[in-house]
A and B are shown apart, each in its own frame.
Chain A
């Protein structure tokens, strides 16, 4: 998939949470490790439900994990 206008702090949050592995996060969120990799690389924008599940895994709000990169109209 191509890059998305949604950036995220997943990699930083993993390290802030005791260097959580990608597999541990994937298991907690009910996704594959490859999807965590795609998310961290900014190549996949998750559904709203998955965004909440990931935020729940870190114990933070959705906006602490995901940010929308507002693009000004040209």
Chain B
């Protein structure tokens, strides 16, 4: 059970994602989006710390490249959920300046991702950071990601092409721009998910 102790952090992680996605932007003066982003950062950090406490010779111990992949998976997933939850807000915005609150959450999440990744890399005691197996898994993940971006962009194009005129009013240029960004993030998430599956399968 000790090797699954990191899973306790799923609960605070989900709370953080919920704060980012489903609650009002402000509550008693606090920016809930940034608070949620911070909670996800701390929960991912603690989960990685718990996972790294396993015995070094344990076959289930995780390599640096896999840790970085898990972090990327969590963050792309959180970003995709956040943007998807804000689509109605984006559709009603007439200028990008009305989306400043959303931009702050995205920037806070990206900074958290960069900081966490660099800390993990610096704290790693592994002499070899990446090897040829990591490279091969990455190439496979890129192929999956490329397929996912094709599917999502074609799906968006078909939706736009076949939507009746009254529905198309919802698809403002700002919304389409965000949908394309969302397609990129979803494709990245899919690639990381496929790599995570391959790493996990190798350790079974």
Contact = CB atoms under 8 A, between A and B. Distances in A.
The 3 closest A-B pairs by CB, nearest first: A34-B63, A31-B131, A38-B202
Given A34-B61, A34-B66, A34-B203, A50 B132 contact: yes
Interface in A33-72: 33-35, 37-38, 41, 43-44, 46-47, 50
Contacts of B122: none
A31 B198 contact: no
21 contacts: A2-B201, A22-B57, A27-B127, A27-B128, A30-B128, A30-B131, A31-B132, A31-B133, A32-B64, A32-B65, A32-B126, A32-B134, A33-B61, A33-B63, A33-B126, A34-B61, A34-B133, A35-B131, A35-B134, A38-B202, A50-B132
A13 interface: no
A51 to B, nearest CB: 11
Interface residues of A, number: 21
Contacts of B9: none
Nearest to B62: A34
B137 interface: yes
Contacts of A46: 132
A6 interface: no
B48 to A, nearest CB: 15
Interface residues of B, number: 24
Contacts of B203: 34, 37-38
Contacts, number: 58
B59 interface: yes
Contact of A34 (B132, B136, B201, B202): B202
Interface of A: 1-2, 21-23, 26-27, 30-35, 37-38, 41, 43-44, 46-47, 50
A1 B132 CA distance: 13
A1 B128 contact: no
Contacts of B57: 21-22
A26 B134 CA distance: 14
Contact of A26 (B65, B66, B128, B130): B128
A1 B198 contact: yes
Nearest to B128: A32
B132 A47 contact: yes
